[in-house]
Amino acid sequence: MSAGATISYREALRQALREAMQRDPRVFLMGEDVGRYGGTYAVSKGLLEEFGPDRVRDTPLSELAFVGAGIGAALGGMRPIVEIMTVNFSLLALDQIINNAATLRHMSGGQFSVPLVIRMATGAGRQLAAQHSHSLEGWYAHIPGLRILAPATIDDARGMLAPALADPDPVLIFEHVQLYNTEGALSDAWQATDIRRARVHRAGRDVSLVTYGGSLGKALLAAERLAGEGIEAEVIDLRVLRPLDAETVFESVRRTHRAVIIDEGWRSGSLSAEVSARIAESIFYSLDAPVLRVCSEEVPVPYPKHLEDAVLPQVPDIVAAVKEIVSGHD
């Protein structure tokens, strides 16, 4: 598909998978329902018919087993893409991801690498209740040996897979469930997607809004509302949660002197806490106000729509946080 054409986030992911499999015969996809069913979120629809069952493999319902098989395939020279249905289910494979994939390069003294990509849905907003709705990518961002990506845009959905497959270490890609149906124009920039740096999506002078994944759209909407009241917010998409590109955040906060971090994870022990701590440690004297965080309420995500909405960070919450630090510290 040519640049400038309107495309869905789901189709951008599918195009990336198709291109990777066409380009490199070592690449194959495996996971629950990725083949005949076409993927839980229809990302892999049509790939089984195009590439066959050897390269699009439906697996048994055992995350521990098929993630382990992916690690073995990567060690054997293949380039597996493992799909886990939802981040909550990835907890069943923690031993394989953390004790094996993340550590084998270190424990082998650099003799082995694990060029494995694991994709999974994350986040809430679709009334899937507590066992399918949490944002746990911040947990994985705690683990050395892993690269953690969170594509929030059509360009990143299209462009992150190729450099992830080229990485010699395991890469986890977190796709927010609210983004699959979103549509936008694919730009030329996707072909040079950088999986090392954050991206400034909107320039501003008064406050830095730092976020990622499914919260990026909310931050941009909040920035538009604030602009109508004379407050110019800069919006940063972290994109890469590990290794964290703190310098891009620092550069922004040095300009704006205020920061609000939006994170769909829970506040306690969250990625937002890490970003806040790094700002305080490194550029404390650039701040004109305390760093504020807008996070999910610390409860399991509820099923009823009105309660789910109340638990998650929303645009009015972001606007209120910005007004608190801007109006109180002019």
Instruction: Just list the catalytic residues.
Output: 63, 132
Amino acid at 66: F
Amino acid at 322: V
Is the separation of the CB atoms in 93 and 271 below 8 Å?
no
Three-state secondary structure of the chain: CCCCCEEEHHHHHHHHHHHHHHHCCCEEEEECCCCCCCCCCCCCCCHHHHHCCCCEEECCCCHHHHHHHHHHHHHCCCEEEEEECCHHHHHHHHHHHHHHHCCHHHHCCCCCCCCCEEEEEECCCCCCCCCCCCCCHHHHCCCCCCEEECCCCHHHHHHCHHHHHHCCCCEEEEEEHHHCCCEEECCHHHHHCCCCCCEEEECCCCEEEEECHHHHHHHHHHHHHHHCCCCCEEEEECCEEECCCHHHHHHHHHHHCCEEEEEEEECCCCHHHHHHHHHHHHHHHHCCCCCEEEEECCCCCCCCHHHHHHHCCCHHHHHHHHHHHHHCCC
